[in-house]
Structure 1
Amino acid sequence: MQQVKSINSVLLLTILSALMAFTSLSTDIYLPAMPQMEQDLGGRAELTVTGFLVGFALAQLLWGPISDRVGRKIPLYMGMILFIIGSIGCAMSDTIGQIVFWRVFQAFGACTAPMLARAMVRDLFDKTRAVQLMSTLMIIMSIAPIGGPLLGGQLIKISSWHTIFYFLTAIGILMFCSLLWLPETHPQKKRAKGPFWSVFRNYRQLFRNRNFMRYTLSLTFYYVGQYAFIVGSPKVYIDFFHIEPQHFGWLFGLNIVGIMLVSFANRLLVRHFSLDQLLRFATLFISLTGGLLAFFAYTQIGGIVSIIVFVFGYFILVGIIGSCATVSALDSVPEMAGSASALLGSLQYGSGIISSLLLAIFSDGTAWTMAWIMATFAVASAAMVWRK
């Protein structure tokens, strides 16, 4: 706890929240520009999200063991530098293929932010306090998914999609500077020793740890559904329902307001209910809302209103599922927090690869494909925490 006292608690919370929000901002800010990018460059703009998630998932498997060995701050500095270079590369691209390449590069840096923020929380706090802090972080970090599409929609209205990536470059520089105020939370005496490659044995142990994998897969399956909406919603709302790109962010942001409210409530709920109880309720609820979403998307009853309502119900519980599943998973392997956070994050964000590929293969131009993916993986998420 001495590390916490060495930095203003509000500043610490702000920086950790920004690190947690880094991925959402990097993905969500250019969602309104995806249809325009397809027109300008040809190809499938969804692949730029897929490329980012591939890089994001793979790189964490390397950064996690590195952070267990050298501490949390050095990988964060290196990650921000890679992110800045990748953002400039995206802004200067002339084809979808070039953007996909630089998005992978960008992701190799961006992945350090949320992964190591989670590990730092586990370094500093006990289980209950960590859940409360994670809930607080999710409330603050929710600004990024709200502001990202809104800002991106306005930028694409007055400028071009290139400007969005230059803006991300500036954000990367700002984040690099903010790291100067963060403490090193992983002391020398707790760092991994011995040959470097030996730390990758941690992954084998983690895959064999039933409790860790149960919570990790529950979160992973839920995020498959989340990414189905994130990747699929621009075409559903803008192309199918004819929402103007600059207004897309408001519909996207509506879900985030719900997340903020439920995340705030979760700070109180963890005092009265176990993490397993909260996870079981939350996953059962998203299974119900996911099923209703699929029904109304298939029948097209209620039009866009029914889609908005049940997507809202699906999204709002990410604060409970995300914080409770993450803390429960990491708490089961405290001696490997960096590697565990890396594997959890790799599977969590890599889940978006499944979503984007399913959408690319099965999309019929309506909300149906997006909806059935969300429903199917909500049930899979619930199955992980309801099994004994």
Structure 2
Amino acid sequence: MRTARYALVLGGLTAFGPLSIDMYLPALPAMARDLHAGDATLQLTLAAFVLGVGAGQLVLGPLSDAFGRRKPLLAGVALFVVGSLLCVVSPSVELLIAARVLQAFGASAGMVIARAAVRDLFSGIAMARFFSMLMLVTGLAPILAPVLGGQLLSLTSWRGIFGALAAFGALLLIVAAFALPETLPAHRRRPARPASVLRGYLSLLRDRVFVGYALGLGLSFAAMFTYISASSFVLQGAYGLSPQQYSLVFGGGAVGLVLASQVNGRLVGRFRQHTLLVTGLLAGTVGALAMVVASLSGLGLGGVLPPLFVAVAGAGFVMPNATSLALADHPELAGSASALLGVLQFTVGGLTSPLAGLAGGDSALPMALLMAALAGLGLLSVGTLARRRGSDQLAEVGVA
């Protein structure tokens, strides 16, 4: 029961990012009219959030290594609530952008500290199983958020969406304050001096095993981000699906991702985590390549959807194992390591996913090619940089 409670609380904290990015997307046209802003200017609200999340993780990760997890976490969630409320009352797009930066900085606390807290509480096989359990909560967030935002938009204005985010943050602030204990004891904390923080980041970047797993995770996340950002245009534009049919297909992919993560949780302990991670990356690569073949062969929607399902489900093996293995050897730098993992995911995903849209939505080929390249590069990174592994064979350890 305690593990399930941790999964719900930490899963909710990691959902701040996808909810804040995706929930208001259906409201962008209405926001442009209300704020008298162009589409390009309004897109800066998304860019500001992504940059704020990256900067916040780099700052709050090391701070949580120095002051424990609870204080930076609760302060960050409170800042998220304040930033969301400022979004509600913003009279101009310029003030909305500034409020989004505050909101993002606060959201980054939940994302980066949740991963670090998992490393504090678990190790070895138990950590990988917990990350698989966490995906029950976090795996659906980026997929359900636009649907939830659209439903809220039928009941309220775009300001109501940010009000709902503020309410969600306030609820999690209360729950975390009472249900989440301090997970980092005082004797394991590190000083927060800039020189010490920089040395910590450099030591992580010099560890080729950490870099290999971090790149594998980031590139797999980028392939998933490509799917999320491009699939609507491809499946509706190239294959003529209605919005309702597209939502069903998209939901089917979400179910596959979550089911794969739960199968992974069952298999951890019977197979090496490194092997399960490589299996997931192979599934992503082979599935995307099969999509390329189906697109070039003109097999239609029936030929594209099965390999697309495989490619998406493969991430259910990649994300829990890559995260667990990347954090395994650095318990003393869990906050900083979690920050680098988060920044890499958002940076690689944000930079690469728009490439799939350059060729338009007339074919699944550009999306499939980019997904195959990203998953293949992730497989190469893990295979060449993360060849040494001992900690993934640890016996299961319970809650600390």
Report the TM-score, using the length of structure 2 for normalisation. Answer: 0.85
Alignment of 1:1-388 (within 5 A): 8-34=2-28, 41-44=37-40, 47-93=44-90, 99-180=96-177, 181-193=179-191, 195-237=193-235, 249-297=247-295, 301-303=299-301, 306-359=303-356, 362-366=358-362, 367-387=364-384, 388=387
The number of aligned residues is 380
Compared CA separation, residues 36 and 371, structure 1 to 2 (3 A): farther
Q: Distance in 2 between matches of 1:100 and 1:371?
A: 33
RMSD, aligned CA = 2.8
Compared CA separation, residues 234 and 349, structure 1 to 2 (3 A): same
Secondary structure at 1:316 match in 2: helix
Q: Distance in 2 between matches of 1:98 and 1:249?
A: 33
Compared CA separation, residues 335 and 263, structure 1 to 2 (3 A): same
Secondary structure at 2:216 match in 1: helix
Secondary structure at 1:183 match in 2: coil
Q: Distance in 1 between matches of 2:61 and 2:39?
A: 34
Report the TM-score, using the length of structure 1 for normalisation. Answer: 0.87
Secondary structure at 2:228 match in 1: helix
Q: Distance in 1 between matches of 2:238 and 2:24?
A: 19
Query: Quick check: 2:87–2:100 contact (8 Å CA) kept in 1?
Result: yes
Taking only the aligned residue pairs, the percentage that are identical comes to 36
Secondary structure at 2:39 match in 1: coil
Q: Which moved more, 1:207-216 or 1:76-85?
A: 76-85
2:392 alignment partner in structure 1: none
Secondary structure at 2:15 match in 1: helix
Q: Distance in 1 between matches of 2:92 and 2:297?
A: 38
The Cα shift of 1:286 comes to: 0.6
Compared CA separation, residues 77 and 194, structure 1 to 2 (3 A): closer
Compared CA separation, residues 316 and 121, structure 1 to 2 (3 A): same
Compared CA separation, residues 293 and 32, structure 1 to 2 (3 A): farther
Compared CA separation, residues 165 and 312, structure 1 to 2 (3 A): farther
Q: Distance in 2 between matches of 1:112 and 1:194?
A: 16
Compared CA separation, residues 67 and 300, structure 1 to 2 (3 A): farther
Could you report, residue by residue, the CA deviation over 1:236-270 in whole angstroms, capped at 9, with x for unpaired residues?
45666665657654433222211221111111111
The Cα shift of 1:75 comes to: 1.2
Could you report, residue by residue, the CA deviation over 1:106-157 in whole angstroms, capped at 9, with x for unpaired residues?
2111111121111111111121110111111112333423532322222234
Q: Distance in 2 between matches of 1:95 and 1:231?
A: 27
The Cα shift of 1:279 comes to: 1.3
Q: Which moved more, 1:236-245 or 1:212-221?
A: 236-245
Q: Distance in 1 between matches of 2:294 and 2:33?
A: 30
Query: Quick check: 2:279–2:317 contact (8 Å CA) kept in 1?
Result: no
Query: Quick check: 2:26–2:146 contact (8 Å CA) kept in 1?
Result: yes
The Cα shift of 1:356 comes to: 4.7
Q: Distance in 2 between matches of 1:43 and 1:298?
A: 34
Q: Distance in 1 between matches of 2:377 and 2:23?
A: 29
Could you report, residue by residue, the CA deviation over 1:23-45 in whole angstroms, capped at 9, with x for unpaired residues?
22222323444566567743246
The Cα shift of 1:76 comes to: 1.0
The Cα shift of 1:98 comes to: 5.3
Letter in 2 for 1:66: L
Q: Which moved more, 1:117-126 or 1:46-55?
A: 46-55
The Cα shift of 1:365 comes to: 3.7
Compared CA separation, residues 238 and 76, structure 1 to 2 (3 A): farther
Compared CA separation, residues 163 and 244, structure 1 to 2 (3 A): farther
The Cα shift of 1:379 comes to: 0.9
The Cα shift of 1:190 comes to: 0.6
Q: Distance in 1 between matches of 2:250 and 2:164?
A: 20
Could you report, residue by residue, the CA deviation over 1:3-54 in whole angstroms, capped at 9, with x for unpaired residues?
xxxx944322221221232222222323444566567743246554433222
Q: Which moved more, 1:247-256 or 1:262-271?
A: 247-256
Q: Distance in 2 between matches of 1:276 and 1:155?
A: 42
Q: Which runs of 5+ in 2 are unaligned?
A: 388-400
Q: Distance in 2 between matches of 1:74 and 1:221?
A: 32
Query: Quick check: 2:226–2:354 contact (8 Å CA) kept in 1?
Result: no
Secondary structure at 1:212 match in 2: helix
Compared CA separation, residues 42 and 237, structure 1 to 2 (3 A): farther
Secondary structure at 1:317 match in 2: helix
Could you report, residue by residue, the CA deviation over 1:261-296 in whole angstroms, capped at 9, with x for unpaired residues?
111111111121111111111111111111233444
Q: Which runs of 5+ in 1 are unaligned?
A: 1-6
